[in-house]
Structure 1
Amino acid sequence: MRVLRVLPIAVRMVAIAVAGIAATAAATAVLARWLQPWAAALVAAGIVAAIVATVIWRALVPMRALFRALAGTVASYRDGDFSFGITWDKASDLIELVDAHNALGTALREQRLALVQRELLLDTMVQNTPVAMVLVDAARRVVLGNLAARRMLGDGRRLEGRAFEDLLGTADPAVREAFARGGDGMFTVGDADDEDIYHLSRRRFRLNGRIHELVLLRQLTAELRRQEVQTWKKVIRVISHELNNSLAPIASLAHSSAELLRRGQTERLPEALATIEDRARHLEGFIRDYARFAKLPAPRTVPVPWRRFAGQLATQVGFTLDLQPEDGIGRFDAAQLEQALLNLLKNAHESGSPADAVRLSIRRTPEDWRIDVLDRGSGMNDAVLANALLPFYSTKRHGTGLGLALAREIAEAHGGRIALLNRQGGGLCVSMVLPA
């Protein structure tokens, strides 16, 4: 097909060549009357060559103009300008190339318009989101800052091009402290009467081959206030329930004891007083657990050999130890971590697991320590797994719902995390990760 399309041009060239040969022969015959035969032929050939060159040049000029136009539009496409097109009204097979080129320009123009519309929509969403967003390049200069970020870090002024460290230097001290700690976390801005709670999130990624950091500052005050109210309502219900369960029998037994004394029936008094003591001690332990959870101090981390720590723990609850490496040394608050692991190991024994199937695994990973408490009990269904780490959530009849919540609080206070998952073959794995 390509050969057939160029045939008209080739035919025209052959026709020009044949005409040139015929004209050369005729001119040679005419000039031979006045000049020598060789001179006549030379002059005739020159004249005909000039004529043929002129004819060919005039035939190729439109195509050269078309090729220049094609090159110009390609250069415009490369620069992102798709508004150009080519008009070619000459009857030739090049019209197909022109039409294809114009169709390409139309497709690129439509794609560019759609892309611009999507970018406009995305920019509108980013600028108007209540989450403060700041994009920082490898030189620690701000590439993008939305409206919320301008209000929080720049007094309403544009942030682009400014040094991020300079912005932090003029920010609230709580903001600077949150960034100095590194990683994600929550912080409070303001005083007790007027405070706002924020969550800081930082993510690094490559953009155009260079490292960038996306900083997100989300205000959680209203959401946390609602959750705080719900939590307090739940706390009041739980405490009221426990107090009633203990105080009602204590009051009843005290009244009964007084009546027995009045009647002189003292033989039943020891049993009543023992029950009162039992309920009072239960109530004392309940209040003590709540106080411990509410007043958990900041951990005092020191180097601790895992072998020695596990030996002390084994004197209080049974388990099988898997420690790798054997001479590993962690950095943590021994008293707090002991309390957390005691709760987890006791839960493992209470899960219905055989005592010899309760295992404590402590392993060193490249970046942290992983502590797993494993059992072969009944495990947890999806609903319990989703809520087990929440304070005051318990499936036990007399449980306070603080054991797993306290373990989570201790892990997060150390800069770690905790997770629960069911094991294949039955049982539960409570996995705690602590920084090395």
Structure 2
Amino acid sequence: MWLIISLGLLHIGVMTSVYFFGAQYPITTTSFFLCSLIATFELLKRQLKRHQIILQSLDHGLQSLRDNDFSVSLNQQKEKSYNPLIDAFNQTSANLRDERQRLYQREMMLDKVLNASPMVTILVDHRDTIVFTNNSAQQAFELNGSIVGRQWTSLVASLAPEFQHALNHHGETIFTLTDSQGAQQAWHVTNSSVTIHQARHQLFLLKTITQELSKQEVATWKKVISVISHELNNSIAPISSMCHSGELLAKNLDEPRLNRVFNTISGRVNHLNDFIKGYATLTKVKLPNKQPIIWSELIEQLQTLYPFELINELPKTPINGDLAQLEQVFINILKNAHEADPSGKVSINFDTTAHGLEITINDNGSGMSAEVIQNALLPFYSTKHSGTGLGLALCREIIEAHEGKLIFNNRDQGGLSVLVILPLID
């Protein structure tokens, strides 16, 4: 504004001088006119330079924004006409800076959630390259080093055939796989397409559902047992009452054969009642009262009941558990081991791994068939003539309540190996 006013006054002065004094003082008027032109040129040149400096500052600021540097801001100018543009630039830079901060916080939160999730998450781009995995994916594939950057096809080709078929199937699928510990693991796999930054990607989500299926299976058995127990108890009560009345009548009649009949009925009713109570314990397993386990005391108690050889030192890794429940589990396993191996050559080994504390009980018996191993943990299933099929089912219920695993495997040298895995204290 000041430049326009200055030039306007200068030009008015030049035109006034030329009009009034041009004829009388031509040389002076011409000199004054030339000086005014030079002054006008210098003023315009100075203003143009200033304008270029401001435009250059804006250009550098925009270049910084293009380079994702949102910390840049421009200073206010003396020429107020530029300030609205500078204010708009600074406001845009501040908005972008705040938005990037919010996006960064969201990404950090999403990254933590994904890495803490037990679900395996893998993202593959259109070039068949793995661009993202979480911690669960690294553990599931049990590979050394990061798998990000590897070719997805080559990684899938190195997996088991069941795994390959599930991963190559678009949509959802469920399959079972034997893990490194010999246990059957059920997996749910989802293969879907997603678009990220206008590029097509494949998203793979894998989740082990073994524990959920196991819990559902146990819940179903508990419901069946509860229904059967209820119906049997409803029948046993009147039978027992009538049997007692019959015994009293038989005494008055002095008929020994009736006494034997009613005594036999009463005995079988009592046996059936005890049988129902035994299975009812499976439906009423209490939540473990977890306390630090003192292994020396537990091992000493077990040794007095069922002797065994301790292969290595007792673990120093802290474990929280219900001492009474865990003792019940080991007593049941050791009892079965001694029954399978009359020589009594039973051993226990402790090993601390990434999966937790692994306790292995080995015997030199005849082992188990594949069918028996598959059904050993089911209620009602037993290979013993007088077995109830309750012991190992109760063991599984207790171990799973401790967030652990119970696995059976035949040994190469003969006999059975029972693996109990308990989680370590975080």
TM-score of the two chains, using structure 2 as the length reference: 0.48
TM-score of the two chains, using structure 1 as the length reference: 0.47
Higher relative contact order (CA 8 A, sep 6+): 2
